[in-house]
């Protein structure tokens, strides 16, 4: 198939409509992946000036200023409309239409139900009580559209003693047990900077939606999906959990070291805060590593002659390896070792990731122009399908940008009806001044 054919092929989820009620990261990223596959997504959020919506996220981002600038806005400038310039928001909500709709009003709930009638999927990541309080939980939506697929992503699920607890990835990661095994033997628990549980939940949610769509295609039946984010995270802690279940053994913090590989870790390289990761799994790889660094005398010592010996003498081994790596550029170490068959990776900072020649040559980053945030590169879609294209068709919506389009074109409301809804502040196409 030629490139031209690929570019004119329909996307995988073309014709599927999703109502997105999610916030922050886990939900928005899940829906963004589906939007990148061609689904029409209508992002529904509370109008600015009302509780909720992107105002909460805006406040969160402004809290992280360092006294000189706001680091999560383009050029560190919130501008006159900071709610439309947030980097995180604009990354996770590309390819979506946006409507500002207040679901606390009966009129807003009725509009949402009308959208459900013509939609395929509803996704939300509130605590369990919220959709029920709106009168928009699954039993209600199923009466409106029996074929609807609804997925809820509460932090702790719809049952259990923690069901109503709010959650962020910054706390779920710890509760799922990840932090307890991260760190060094003499340190307390560590956490990842990127709140690992959020993207894990996102990927699970996107996969669950695809399974439900496949089921509906075969049976005509919609269904309700409950995705407890804590459980999608615990699911990936299988090895230490099984070790405890079978042996009653608690894992120890080991830093960058491995349970059987040695050398294994991050080694300082030439330059300011430059590092390389190295993982040697077999005696053959060890021999290749020794040849690559010139077979210095210490590589022939008996204590390093086999895998167990190297593992038992890692403190001394790491010091000797660092004497070599500190004289090298981290990319140079990676490339040299990889050519010799030894697994190694340069430890990249964010700037180096954005400029990485491999990612750039593959065209991973995608350039998006946003009317308020300007022109910037964003992470691309991680999957490549040979017969169905993916890509960015539109930037993230400004607040209420598509409210009139959705109400008029999709629901058939007249201009007069829309004007009345705006006067009553049920919907908006911009900030509401109270």
Question: What is the rounded CA–CA span in Å between residue 424 and residue 371?
Answer: 28
Q: What angle do CA 123, 127, 128 make, to 5 degrees?
A: 80
Question: What is the rounded CA–CA span in Å between residue 387 and residue 353?
Answer: 28
Do residues 382 and 29 touch, judged by C-beta distance below 8 A? no
From the candidates 198, 272, 306, 429, give the one annotated as an active-site residue. Answer: 198
The burial class, CB within 10 Å (0-12 / 13-18 / 19+), for 433 is exposed
233 Cβ neighbours under 8 A, 6+ residues apart: 172, 173, 176, 178, 196, 197, 200, 201
Number of C-beta neighbours around residue 352 at 10 A: 13
> Running DSSP on this structure, what letter comes out for residue 145?
-
Strand, helix or coil for residue 18 = strand
Residue ranges in 95-228 assigned as alpha helix (H): 106-117, 129-134, 138-144, 169-175, 178-181, 197-219
Helix axes 26-36, 197-219, angle to 10 degrees: 50
Give yes or no: 356 in active site.
no
Question: What is the rounded CA–CA span in Å between residue 241 and residue 251?
Answer: 9
- Reported as type and span, the H/E element at residue 221 is none
Question: Catalytic residue positions?
Answer: 198
């Amino acid at each position: 198939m030629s490139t031209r054919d690929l570019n004119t092929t329909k996307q995988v989820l073309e014709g599927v409509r999703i109502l997105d009620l999610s916030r922050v990261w886990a939900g928005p990223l899940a829906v963004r992946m589906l939007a990148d596959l061609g689904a029409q997504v209508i992002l529904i959020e509370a109008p600015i000036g009302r509780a909720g919506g992107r105002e909460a996220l805006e406040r969160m981002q402004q809290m992280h200023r360092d006294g000189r600038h706001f680091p999560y806005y383009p050029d560190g400038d919130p501008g006159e409309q900071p709610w439309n310039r947030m980097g995180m928001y604009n990354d996770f909500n590309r390819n979506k239409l946006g409507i500002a709709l207040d679901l606390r009003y009966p009129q807003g709930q009725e509009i949402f139900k009308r959208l459900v009638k013509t939609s395929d999927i509803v996704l939300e990541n509130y605590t369990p009580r919220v959709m029920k309080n709106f009168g928009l939980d699954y039993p209600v939506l199923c009466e409106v559209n029996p074929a609807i697929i609804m997925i809820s992503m509460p932090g702790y699920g719809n049952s259990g003693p923690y069901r109503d607890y709010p959650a962020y990835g910054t706390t779920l990661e710890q509760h799922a047990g990840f932090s307890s095994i991260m760190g060094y033997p003499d340190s307390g628990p560590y956490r990842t900077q990127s709140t690992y549980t959020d993207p894990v939940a996102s990927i699970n949610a996107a996969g669950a939606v695809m399974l439900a769509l496949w089921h509906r295609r075969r049976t005509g039946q919609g269904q309700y999906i409950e995705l407890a984010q804590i459980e999608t995270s615990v699911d990936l802690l299988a090895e230490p959990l099984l070790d405890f279940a079978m042996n009653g053994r608690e894992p120890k913090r080991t830093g960058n070291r491995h349970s059987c590989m040695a050398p294994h870790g991050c080694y300082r390289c030439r330059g300011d805060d430059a590092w390389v990761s190295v993982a040697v799994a077999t005696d053959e790889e060890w021999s290749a590593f020794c040849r690559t660094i010139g077979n210095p005398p210490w590589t022939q010592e008996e204590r390093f002659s086999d895998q167990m010996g190297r593992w038992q003498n890692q403190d001394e081994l790491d010091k000797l390896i660092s004497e070599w790596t500190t004289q090298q550029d981290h990319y140079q170490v990676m490339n040299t070792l990889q050519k010799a068959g030894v697994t190694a990776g340069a430890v990249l900072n964010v700037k180096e990731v954005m400029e990485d020649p491999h990612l750039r040559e593959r065209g991973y980053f995608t350039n998006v122009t946003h009317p308020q945030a300007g022109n910037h590169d964003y992470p691309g879609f991680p999957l490549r399908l040979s017969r169905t294209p993916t890509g960015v068709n539109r930037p993230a919506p400004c607040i209420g940008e598509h409210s009139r389009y959705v109400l008029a074109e999709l629901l058939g409301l007249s201009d007069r009806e829309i004007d009345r809804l705006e006067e009553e502040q049920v919907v908006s196409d911009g900030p509401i001044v109270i």
